[in-house]
A and B are shown apart, each in its own frame.
Chain A
Amino acid sequence: MSVVFDEKIQQTLGNAKLQLAIYTSTGRLMDHRKKSLTGQLPDFEELRTHANAVKKHTIENLDYYLEQLEANVKAHGGQVVWCRDGQQVADFVLALAKEKGSKLIVKSKSMTTEEIDFNERLEHHHLESVETDLGEYILQLKHERPYHIVAPALHLTRYDVANLFEKELGVPNDTVIENQTLLARKVLRDKFLQADIGVSGANFLVADSGSIVLVENEGNARLTTSAPKIHIAVAGVEKVIPRAQDLATFLKLLGRSATGQPLTVYTSFLSGPKRAEEVDGPDEFYLVLLDNGRTKVLADREKRQVLYCIRCGACLNHCPVYRKIGGHSFPWVYSGPIGAIITPQFMTVRHEPALPFASSLCGACAEVCPVKIDIPKILLDLREDVVKARTEDASNQLERLAFRMFAFMMSHPWLYRLAGKLGARFGPKKAWVSHVPGAGMLPPVKLWLSQRDLPSLAKKSFRDLWKERKG
């Protein structure tokens, strides 16, 4: 694996406080999820299957639904802006801000905007963009990426926040969480009321309505999309669902899978700028549809199911690997099992070739995914892709040789039996290796022993015992 990946992993593993924070937070989210499902949503399995079928249909006919979405957005007075990448999104926003004389943007939480480094792209253009979700606001002050899809500041303590606010906001050091929250509320309230533009993401794009759906608990997304005169929603093209009625399925799955809530505090179904008779709301609405590599992923029949993701974070919470290495060990904005399959597809397998291997394939993720993405299967497919992409690399050639030898031995029983006998004769640990898959994998023995003991070698193999047994 890359040095960076390894270092980040080691750093996280070595930080006992962080290990505890990750483990307890994800454990709590798992418990909440379980409580909201067991005996509470008896048709959960059926809903998942249905959600998968709806997403499959939509993704396989995405062009149709995007056109329907666009037509309906326009019918309700909004505009659709199609963007190939983050630069085009930034160009659009900057041009609009210039035209309108906008100085201040308020933002609600959006992984899609993280994906394209939205705030960074606007930084040097005299346009202030303020995150309003409490966790994201904290991270923005800290110049850090989200640690988890749903709980972005999972890795921070109240002491971290107190120090941060003291440094960045010039306030006395206060470690009381309620006070910290109230302070953020006060600061951000002013921003909401002064902002010229509100930028949100979208949890769902509803094709038959030309609408976006936003789920949240704080109220900042509602304020972001209701107070400023301009609302821009940025969403990946894969967020489309066919009908408003499909929300009866998806909303039930999203809240429970993410945080164990049957519904989050606020679920907004927004359809364009305010209507003439409405008293408040934005005057202008822009839906930015983002590609950023999604059309590439779409082309892979097997792996395109990664686009079904509704960003609930359940796979992160249940992943024993994520629960050890945390969100910042991952090379891109998306972490956990979904990150492990999205990243190689968007950034190519060479970006971090070890990533698909950073999994024991336990399958806990697939078991909880509300849209039934077969994550382990895609990881296995990606592993094959990594091997194919790296045939020329020296380290891979050695590994390939080892597996060639493994395959040869395992398809020639006489050789396999011989290796077994030799191993038995030449004693324990070292020779043990000679009949375990891959003769050239001596380093693995050392790596194994770094964490746990090896079993002592059986003096007689099963074959020997079987022969004896038969008499």
Chain B
Amino acid sequence: MPRVSLFVTCIIDQLFPKVGIAMADVLERAGCSVEFPEDQTCCGQPAFNSGYREEARTVARHFLKVFDGAEYIVVPSGSCTSMVSHHFADLFQDFPAELAATRTLEPKVYEFSSFLTGVLKVEDFGARFEGIVTYHDSCHALRELKIKDGPRRLLGNVKGLELREMDIAQECCGFGGTFSVKFPEVSGGMVRTKIESIKKTGASTVVSIDSSCLMQIRGALSRAGLPIETMHLAEVLASR
């Protein structure tokens, strides 16, 4: 039985906690034992992306400590996963002890959907969700983690769900962390282009594996008064 340590990410912890619970539900139903290391906080990405590497290292060190000894670390976010699996090594390139710990940790960190398809090798969770859904490819997941077909297959197995592709599924939603507030008008322009495309599909729900994208998209949908919901993949897969 795989022993999964949840890294729920700070954004889900504080803003979208149901996503974390849904993820735990799906993993347990699939036969994993699920634990939540209490001292977890953040992966450090906001500091890293803003150029504050020293500060990012402080946070990353804490992460390494908290998850030392984990068997699998499963994360409901593409960007947080790639921060750990791709960028911790950049952060610690001149710090041999932390670099060694990072290298040990890297193969254990999985974005949620790729854990399901790649490790558990289960793609049907008996989920049921009625409605037309469109899937948004979050950039880190798509381009750094090469996640594209897995989530679509998972959605395809959900009873009652009709999956429709938007014409620009792979275009950035414009969040980009602090980019969204450093260049708000550009970010806003990008998300408005995105929701135009979403609207055209006729979908009632947008699904992604990154809550930060969903936060950006949801904010734009509600500002535009569009009756389209956003849901994390975990929530869809946990639906009965």
Residues of A at under 8 Å CB distance from B? 1, 9-10, 13, 19, 23, 320-321, 324-325, 354, 356-364, 366-367, 377, 380, 383-388, 399-400, 403-404, 406-411, 413, 416, 420, 423, 432, 435-438, 441, 443-444, 447-448, 450-455, 457-458, 460-466, 469
Contacts and interface: CB of A to CB of B under 8 A. Distances in A.
Contact of A455 (B8, B61, B172, B219): B219
21 contacts: A1-B182, A9-B186, A10-B185, A361-B179, A380-B51, A385-B51, A406-B55, A409-B41, A411-B61, A416-B10, A420-B14, A451-B185, A451-B187, A451-B188, A453-B218, A455-B219, A458-B14, A458-B17, A463-B36, A465-B18, A469-B24
Interface in B22-42: 24, 36, 38-42
Given A320-B174, A360-B172, A451-B220, A13 B53 contact: no
A146 B177 CA distance: 31
B42 A410 contact: yes
B122 interface: no
Nearest to B86: A377
A407 B21 contact: no
B46 A404 contact: no
A301 to B, nearest CB: 12
A164 B222 CA distance: 44
Contact of B143 (A19, A362, A406, A453): A362
B171 interface: yes
B51 A386 contact: yes
Given A320-B174, A364-B172, A437-B46, A452 B186 contact: no
A430 to B, nearest CB: 15
B47 A407 contact: yes
B42 to A, nearest CB: 4
A453 to B, nearest CB: 4
B144 A455 contact: no
A410 B175 contact: no
B17 A387 contact: no
**Chain A contact surface mostly:** helix
A406 B47 contact: yes
Contacts of A380: 48-49, 51, 87, 90
A9 B183 contact: yes
Contacts of B13: 420, 461-463
A448 B184 contact: yes
B12 interface: yes
B119 to A, nearest CB: 22
A413 to B, nearest CB: 4
B216 interface: yes
Contacts of A452: 188, 191, 216, 219-220, 222-223
B99 interface: no
Contacts, number: 210
A383 B50 CA distance: 6
B176 interface: yes
B139 A451 contact: no
Nearest to B52: A403
A357 B16 contact: no
A408 B44 CA distance: 11
A367 B140 CA distance: 12
Contacts of A455: 15-16, 215, 218-219
B52 A400 contact: yes
B179 A357 contact: yes
Q: Which of A362, A443, A461, A464 lies at the interface centre, i.e. has the most chain B CB atoms within 10 A of its CB?
A: A362
A360 B59 contact: no
B101 interface: no
B39 A413 contact: yes
A416 B14 CA distance: 10
B195 to A, nearest CB: 10
Contacts of A420: 13-14
Contacts of A438: 46
A224 to B, nearest CB: 38
Contact of B40 (A10, A13, A359, A413): A413
B8 A462 contact: yes
B178 interface: yes
Contacts of A461: 13-14, 17
Contact of B144 (A363, A413, A457): A363
A400 B54 CA distance: 11
B187 A465 contact: no
A399 B50 contact: yes
A38 B56 CA distance: 40
A321 B174 CA distance: 8
B189 interface: yes
A322 to B, nearest CB: 10
